[in-house]
Each structure stands twice: as structure tokens, then as C-alpha cells.
Amino acid sequence: MKLIGKYYKQFILKGLVAMGFGPIVLAIVYMILGFTGVTESISVWEMSLGIFTITALAFLCGGITVVYQIEELPISKAITFHGIILYIAYTVVYLTNGWLKEG
């Protein structure tokens, strides 16, 4: 438990820095969807959901890099943990926003 508390502040700070870029990434995604003809307009709900989920994803992506600073954690386990967390997070965000088709 001490290990988690020690790096908690760094996780939060790194996440806060990274989440500022979330809305920019979302704007790029929606521009690509518009340019490719996938969508011409989106609802307020879709835009709001996209902003919240991408901002949360950016926070997590920025914060999770703290695993590489944990000296007690072997690099192979840190890489595996980092990859698994990001895979799950991206999948949840993409499915939540309807950017991937289920099944």
C-alpha cells in the first residue's frame, strides 16, 4: 500500500498535464471522421461524451507512465502492466463512443 501512496501524487500530476491534450485529440478524431464521410454532424450528447471520455483517457495515459519510476517493479512487468491498462482503457473509450463496432 505504501508503494501506491508514494507514486499517487506523481500519477495525478502527470495525468493532469496530459489531459489537456485530450480535447485536441478528440477534435482530430472528429475531423478525420468528417473528412472520410463517416459522419457529417454529431449530437451534443456525442460531443460531450467524447470530450469527457477522451479527457479521462488522456489523464490515464499520462498518469500511468509513473509505473516506470517504481524501482521495485521489474521493467518487464511495468511494460506489461502499462500495455494491459492502455489496451483496456482505449477499448472501453472506443466502444463507449461507438467508434468500434461490437462483436
Burial of 66 (0-12, 13-18, 19+ CB in 10 A): buried
Ramachandran category for residue 37: left, alpha or beta (phi over 0 → left; psi -120 to 50 → alpha): left
Predicted pLDDT of residue 103: 58
Task: Give the domain range for residue 77.
Answer: 2-96
- For the purposes of burial, counting CB atoms within 10 Å of the CB of 64, is it exposed (0-12), middle (13-18) or buried (19 or more)? buried
In a domain, 26, yes or no: yes
Give pLDDT tens digits along the chain (103 positions).
Answer: 555 677 888 888 888 888 877 778 778 888 888 888 877 787 888 888 988 998 899 899 988 988 888 888 899 999 999 999 999 999 999 999 888 766 5
- Distance, in Å, from the CA atom of 50 to the CA atom of 21, rounded to the nearest integer, reads 13
Give the chain's domain count.
1
Look at residue 103 and tell me if it is in a domain: no
Q: What is the DSSP letter of 102?
A: -
Residue 101 lies in a domain: no
Which pLDDT score, from 0 to 100, does residue 102 have?
A: 60
End-to-end CA distance of the chain: 38
The pLDDT value given to residue 76:
93
